[in-house]
Amino acid sequence: MGYSAAEKYEIIQWVQHSDVSVRQTLVRLASHKSTFHNGLKRYEYYGFEDLADKKPLSQVVWNRIAETHY
């Protein structure tokens, strides 16, 4: 299960205000490095609202006949 936007923001705040390294802080929080860095990038570029998980986009089905051919 993923983190909520509030949890991601809290992790970002913990890491930014920690007296130890990013790696050590993430180990203590039991959070993955990639989760932190992806969330930090989204937060810096787009703000708190972008930390929320989004519905995945539907995938294009390779073997479906396009509706224009019906």
Q: Identify the pLDDT of residue 69.
A: 58
R_g of the chain computed on alpha carbons: 18
For the chain, give every domain's residue range: 1-70
Q: Identify the pLDDT of residue 14.
A: 87
Contacts of 11 (CB under 8 A, 6+ apart): 3, 26, 29, 31, 35, 36, 39
Q: Identify the pLDDT of residue 7.
A: 87
One digit per residue, the tens of pLDDT, for the chain of length 70 reads 578 888 889 889 988 898 999 999 889 888 889 888 888 999 999 998 888 877 776 776 677 776 775 5
